[in-house]
Amino acid sequence: RPVVALVPAAGRGVRLGEPTPKAFVPVGGTPMVRLAVDGLIASGAVHRVVVVVPAELVEAASTLLSTTTSLTGGSMPPVPVQVVVGGAERTDSVRAGIAAAPDAAFYLVHDAARALTPPELIARVAAELQAGSQAVVPALPVVDTVKSVDDAGIVTGTPDRAHLRAIQTPQGFAADLLRRAYATDVGATDDAGLVERLGIAVHTVPGDPLAFKITTPLDLRLAEALLADCSR
């Protein structure tokens, strides 16, 4: 039952502030999207990868990702990597990825910007799907106190931190469920948010601090430092 990874990599990276679209910014000399795809393949849990990029970078991405399949070595079948054009919002890009993989039984939706995600985390999400969960997300305890505020910035509440989690990717879904979630066009900051609106239980597995999303210049410096440590 094919597990297809969808990798949204079509964002501009406004908060990172580099001239290149974020997924193509190198970390330790390797573009984030390539690191993310390598991690998915190294997990051994993915049969096919669909990478969603800005229109002007389709060719560059195809070249960049054309040799990733050799990573698995001789023992496992090669993992095909396909590149498609994304859209203005992340949801548009994921929708383009879904359309490119109509044969999937499961989707793992994984941000290119989570370039350092350990393959073990990816395998954990896939295993939870294979065990029967329809929707699964990696979750970490929240370290800061989180408050809600009104439009004027006045605090309106403090949810109990014990019941809050920071959510990462890859997020895993039974394929027909994610297709159904995307059939309704409403905004959400993650894919599970759309699935929740269908009233489906979303399961959590333990996340990993290394799966942090590279969003700001500080995140990029952290990622560079972590990769420099590894190669020592």
What does the alpha-carbon distance between residue 183 and residue 200 come to, in Å, rounded to a whole number? 15
Instruction: State the nearest-atom distance from the C-beta of 36 to ligand CTP, in Å.
Output: 8
Cβ distance to Mg ion smaller for residue 10 or 83: 10
Contact 6, 52 (CB under 8 A): yes
Residue with structure tokens 């406004």?
A: 14
Q: Which two tokens stand for residue 21?
A: 């679209």
Contact 106, 129 (CB under 8 A): yes
Cβ distance to ligand CTP smaller for residue 76 or 99: 99
Contact 96, 87 (CB under 8 A): yes
Which residue of this chain has its Cβ atom nearest to Mg ion in the complex?
11
- Applying the rule CB under 5 A, the residues between 11 and 30 that interact with Mg ion are 11
Instruction: State the nearest-atom distance from the C-beta of 94 to ligand CTP, in Å.
Output: 7
Work out the angle at residue 210's Cα, subtended by the Cα atoms of residues 205 and 214, and round it to the nearest 5 degrees.
115
Interface residue with ligand CTP, options 1, 12, 161, 221 (CB under 6 A): 12
Establish if 95 lies at the interface with ligand CTP (CB under 6 A). Answer: no
Q: Which two tokens stand for residue 27?
A: 């970390």
Cβ distance to ligand CTP smaller for residue 94 or 126: 94
Across the chain, which distance is largest between two alpha carbons, in Å?
Answer: 59
- Applying the rule CB under 6 A, the residues between 201 and 230 that interact with ligand CTP are 213, 215
Side-chain-side CA neighbours of 75 within 13 Å: the count stands at 4
Establish if 9 lies at the interface with ligand CTP (CB under 6 A). Answer: yes
Work out the angle at residue 21's Cα, subtended by the Cα atoms of residues 15 and 26, and round it to the nearest 5 degrees.
95
Establish if 8 lies at the interface with ligand CTP (CB under 6 A). Answer: yes
Give the per-residue contact string, 49-68, with ligand CTP (x = CB under 6 A; - = no). Answer: ---x----------------
Catalog residues that contact ligand CTP under the rule CB under 6 A. Answer: 8-15, 22-23, 52, 86-90, 92-93, 111-113, 213, 215
Catalog residues that contact Mg ion under the rule CB under 5 A. Answer: 11
